[in-house]
A and B are shown apart, each in its own frame.
Chain A
Amino acid sequence: MRLTCPLCGDRDRREFHYYGAEVYADRPDAGAALDAWDDYLHLRDNPAGETRDLWYHEIGCSAWIVVTRDTVSHRILQTALLTARQRQVGKFVYQEGDLREVPAKPGAATGGERP
């Protein structure tokens, strides 16, 4: 398995530490109801298909990365720095240009350069 770190490029998954679903970055506001905290801490979707999760480039640049991938095909669809998230009326979106599209074909994200 390969992941494209937005800072370092195409790397083997052994360089990364897997955390879990992206929603862990959506921390409730201080004072939110206990239900909101319960949801945030414990309740996760388990989609067959597209999912977003958090990876830490531990043996690399220390960046936390949001990876969009398909749990059925194993395709990596997008990777983005966690810091690129912007809060917008209740949900997180990414700024234009912060997402790196990972082409369907492996390796193409390196743009022809030698890894």
Chain B
Amino acid sequence: MHIYADNAATTKMSRTAIEAMLPYMDKIYGNPSSLYTIGQEAKEALESARERIAVCLGCTPREITFTSGGSEADNQALLSAAAIGARKGKKHIISTAFEHHAILHTLKKLEKQGFEVELLDVHKNGLVTPEQVANAIREDTCLVTIMYANNEIGTVQPIAEIGAVCREKGVLFHTDAVQAAGHLPIDVVAQNIDMLSLSAHKFHGPKGCGVLYARRGIALTNVIEGGAQERGKRAGTENVPAIMGMAAALEESCDNMDSDNFRLAALRDRLIEGLDQIPYSELNGDREHRLPTNVNFCFEGIEGESLLLLLDDKGISASSGSACTSGSLDPSHVLLAIGRPHEVAHGSLRLTIGPDCDQEQIDYIIRSVEEVVTYLRNMSPFWRDLVTGKRPHVFAK
């Protein structure tokens, strides 16, 4: 059995998305900037994709800029808002401690340029409140950037309420919606979102393709200089096949969102309940306000990479926030941000299910994780110390 349970990392492309891309590889392969027929046909396709994506987000087509993905969109959003702020002498930025590195590393860069970055606490449940945002906004705040749904623990922020606070105070609001697009409702007008990033490969579209939505009137700063594509705000020949695939995938995901989410949330809950039976384990992130596809647990006494390798042997593809899987010395900054101690954060497991998932797969995952955790604990001196009381347990049960 092979179970792909790492849909937050990337997804399998949908048939619809693949079909939508094919004609633009070998038939309508012209450069959209060329004046002859197959160039102009590509241009028309590109603009139709922009319109269809705009419908999915509730914005106008000209507010859509195509990028190479979520990271580029995040970079451009932050650098643009910072440039606007700097022109008005506003250099205070509000974000959270558990953003994606595309946000956090860009914020670090801005700090070096003299911006003051304030990272809000995300609490034990991985949620920010609109009140926190309201209290943090100052006269010189130029941007609030808070992710819609967290990529590791799946918690879903009260985006509309945060948007309302920002709009009332006249501060630009950006949300990294990479994990949310195609999975949760987006209406940039109703939710008072000024800028939003998304990435096609998280909703069954192709990799290397994304969108930056920026409300009309927000001047974008180029990250890539060159030709006049994307109204001069993002140079480089447009990746027409990928953009066509992205539009098709987003439409399909949005069309199926309600029925998919209903079914997946029930499977997610079954998985959470099953894993919760493993002693000295705990769910990471709020139980209610979370993506219907995300399950993230910490297990005491074991390390995540060995867990992943043994699950892979059982045909399960998953991910972990342990230091060993990140290639760095620290475990996931997200798990540390919700207050998990290092020793427990090393033993984390993220399972993100996809549309192919069913009950049989869930039950197989539960059995496999139980088996592997028990096996690894039996050879872990750390677990022995916990069991014999030499070290204190972190979790109550």
Partners in one complex: no
